[in-house]
Amino acid sequence: MRKLFFTVGITAFIISLMSFFYFKIGLFLVIILLVLLLIGLANSLQHKHAILRNFPVLGYFRYFFESVAPEIQQYFIERNTDGKPFSRSERSIVYQRAKNISANTPFGTQLDINQSNYEGIRHSIFPAKVNEELPRILIGGPDCSQPYSASLLNISAMSFGSLSENAIIALNKGAQKGNFYHNTGEGGLTEFHLQGGDVTWQIGTGYFGCRNEEGNFDPEKFAQNAKHTSVKMIELKLSQGAKPGHGGVLPAIKNTIQIAKIRGIKPHTTVLSPPNHTAFNDTKGLVQFIARLRQLSNGKPVGFKLCIGQTTEFESICQEMINQNCYPDFITVDGAEGGTGAAPLEFADGVGMPFEPALIFVNKTLIRLNIRDKITVICSGKIISAHSILRAIAMGADICNSARGFMFSLGCIQALRCHNNTCPTGVATQDKMLMKGLVVTDKSERVYFFHKNTLHAANELLAAAGKTSYKEVDASIFMRGDEFIHLSDLYFPDNLTNVTKY
């Protein structure tokens, strides 16, 4: 292709040049052809890109289409029920609720409801009255002197750095209006989190916001920030679903001078938080550290977040709680399908227990050890709709956190550019120009309405199942699409004797 390019290109250039000299036309064409030939020559001599070396100009089309592949997939190929990690239908329902417009759909379901991945709610022919009051849960064990009344749905951990300052401010102002909490993520407590909304301050392995010069935990800095009136709870991050066993990642392009100053690190460098904590190194130390954080925060609720890996380790933590008679006020369970601003593919795709079995395991373990009543279970894993909230509660959660749901409410279009600082909606970028596209006053209202309308829809589903309290929700209210699909059911419908067991 190089020979063909230069043969055709040089021939065209000579013809256009002669046309200009003899007929005084085609100067613009001469310049364009000359530029293309020079580009082609440069690409033919370089050794880095094989495509451009073999196709000196046409090769650029490959990179162009690769750069817009997610948009082509999203706008021209995928159906309403397609799309990963969230389908178009799932994204649309968030947009509609965030805009406070009708989220109704026409004509009927587009799902194949006879498949095993379909899960429906067993409604009652005598529905309960829909409760207009949004549900709240009190968090705080026997050692907590400042218990916190939390909403059933809250903003999951997302750091300033991963998200823009406008996004953080909009989230916090929305949380303030809706009276729900906003988790800071491990990036630290910043001025953008302190806009009046309730805050759960997350402490990661980098100890940002409570870090000394050596990068270790600083109790004095922690106590100073923890006593802020907006800080309602402290969450110790052990691991994250999208990259369990791997520390947090902030790409160098997003590590601005402002963020580096907040975190106490060098700017314009990739930030890799350690995979492990330095304040403790075993279950005994973990439980003691939780007690220490509670004492330093003057009795505020303290808990930890983890993605389940080796189940025996979680059981050991629980046993150590019993041995020390010291319990976290809450445990946040994250699934391996959780979201992230940046993670190695092997960790995102191949490490950690999925949300559903992890939540069931944690709940069952706490019940088996007779300590379930001492600990509030919070879950975080693709919570985006009323159905997903009830489903999480049925598996053992008390409270739900959502990250990407609230990102959609801010205008996120699932462009999959969170890691390279080019988020087109200004949500996950530190580019000042792109950030200006996110108007705080408008997006904070959308955050508020998404929360309000989603919880109202959850109340409607609860009532449809004939329940009056979320404490009545368990796995029995759900059915699977293939529950009755056996050969005898298909061909001998009168023989559905197995239905009687329900």
At 106-141, the pLDDT tens digits run: 676 777 777 777 788 888 999 999 999 999 999 999
> How far is the C-alpha of 301 from the C-alpha of 304, rounded, in Å?
10
Name the residue among 487, 495, 479 with its Cα closest to residue 113.
479
Claim to verify: residue 38 and residue 170 sit in the same structural domain? no
Give kind and range of the element (H or E) at residue 200.
strand 198-203
Last residue of a domain, one of 67, 91, 109: 67
Claim to verify: residue 375 and residue 230 sit in the same structural domain? yes
Claim to verify: residue 153 and residue 26 sit in the same structural domain? no
Last residue of a domain, one of 38, 67, 96: 67
Claim to verify: residue 59 and residue 157 sit in the same structural domain? no
Claim to verify: residue 140 and residue 244 sit in the same structural domain? yes
Is there a domain that residue 100 lies in?
Answer: no
Claim to verify: residue 50 and residue 163 sit in the same structural domain? no
> Domain residues for 47?
2-67
Is there a domain that residue 203 lies in?
Answer: yes
Using an 8 Å Cβ cutoff, are 468 and 480 in contact? no
Claim to verify: residue 54 and residue 148 sit in the same structural domain? no
Q: Which single residue is written with the structure tokens 């800080």?
A: 231
Considering Cα of 94, then 99, then 102, then 107, what sign does the dihedral take?
negative
The total number of structural domains that make up the chain: 2
Q: What percentage of the chain carries pLDDT values higher than 70? A: 88
Three-state secondary-structure class, residue 3: helix
> How far is the C-alpha of 313 from the C-alpha of 282, rounded, in Å?
10
Is there a domain that residue 292 lies in?
Answer: yes
Last residue of a domain, one of 25, 46, 67: 67
Claim to verify: residue 279 and residue 408 sit in the same structural domain? yes
Claim to verify: residue 51 and residue 158 sit in the same structural domain? no
3-state secondary structure 337-395: CCCCCCCCHHHHHHCCCCHHHHHHHHHHHHHHCCCHHHCEEEEECCCCCHHHHHHHHHC
Q: What is the mean pLDDT of each run of 10 residues along the chain (502 residues)?
A: 71 73 70 80 78 77 71 67 74 88 75 75 91 96 95 95 93 97 93 96 93 92 95 94 76 86 84 86 96 96 94 96 97 85 72 88 96 96 92 95 92 82 89 90 96 96 95 88 59 52 42
Name the residue among 337, 339, 335 with its Cα closest to residue 407.
339
Claim to verify: residue 184 and residue 56 sit in the same structural domain? no
Claim to verify: residue 373 and residue 285 sit in the same structural domain? yes
Claim to verify: residue 148 and residue 61 sit in the same structural domain? no
Q: Which single residue is written with the structure tokens 């460098």?
A: 269
How confident is the model at residue 5, as a pLDDT? 67
Is there a domain that residue 114 lies in?
Answer: no
Give the C-alpha distances (Å, rounded to integers) separating 358 from 241, 355, 466.
11, 5, 28
Is there a domain that residue 266 lies in?
Answer: yes
Is there a domain that residue 222 lies in?
Answer: yes
Name the residue among 164, 247, 182 with its Cα closest to residue 208.
247
How confident is the model at residue 486, as a pLDDT? 56
Is there a domain that residue 394 lies in?
Answer: yes
How confident is the model at residue 502, as a pLDDT? 41
Question: Pairing relation of β-strands 136-139 and 399-402?
Answer: unpaired
> How far is the C-alpha of 404 from the C-alpha of 85, rounded, in Å?
10
How confident is the model at residue 501, as a pLDDT? 44
Three-state secondary-structure class, residue 317: helix
Residue 205's CATH number? 3.20.20.70
Is there a domain that residue 83 lies in?
Answer: no
Name the residue among 253, 252, 240, 140 with its Cα closest to residue 186.
240
